[in-house]
Structure 1
């Protein structure tokens, strides 16, 4: 039983190192949400049929929709919240 637990922990650490979006204990809610949104947008851009669907639904060209989605990847959840103790 203990060996299984150690094996699971090792594999989880490997997954966290390999994939940024899996998160860690110090990750904020905003960082987690940004990662999820970026992964979703990247998936939409990578699947051409989905991109065409969005273009038809919005009445825009496929290139324009791709450009809009790429711009949205910069700040998918808006500007980051101010941290406590920081002054701008």
Structure 2
């Protein structure tokens, strides 16, 4: 009985953690979405901690404002453009467009 109470408590704590921080993911989180969240979190850390930003700008040999702007731009699509939609979805959308 004690073991199940501990497991329930751990499960409840895990759910609270996921509600507080979106980046922890859920069982329904896809690989790409999880990766984007992790990259955004890393970029945000570099932006918010002055030491990290200075280190990054020194390593790149660029002013901090340029590095900061580039990092913010990269946060829009951290893993590049989204992959193309599956062919079935494209065919379905084309048929719907023709039906209208």
TM range (shorter): over 0.9
2:67 to 49, 65, 73: 65
Residue 86 (structure 1) shift: 2.1
Runs in 1 of length 4+ with deviation above 6 angstroms? none
- Specify every segment of 5 or more residues in structure 1 that has no aligned partner in the other structure, as ranges: none
| Aligned-partner SS, 1:86 | helix
Higher-Rg structure is 2
Cα RMSD for the two superposed structures: 1.3
Determine the structure 1 residue equivalent to 2:19. Answer: 17
**Aligned length, in residue pairs:** 88
Q: Distance in 1 between matches of 2:30 and 2:84?
A: 12
Determine the structure 1 residue equivalent to 2:89. Answer: 86
| TM-score w.r.t. length of structure 1 | 0.92
Higher share in helix: 2
Q: Distance in 2 between matches of 1:24 and 1:83?
A: 23
1:34 to 33, 36, 40: 36
After superposition, give the CA deviation of every residue in 1:12-43 in whole Å (9 maximum; x if it has no partner).
11111110000011111000000000000000
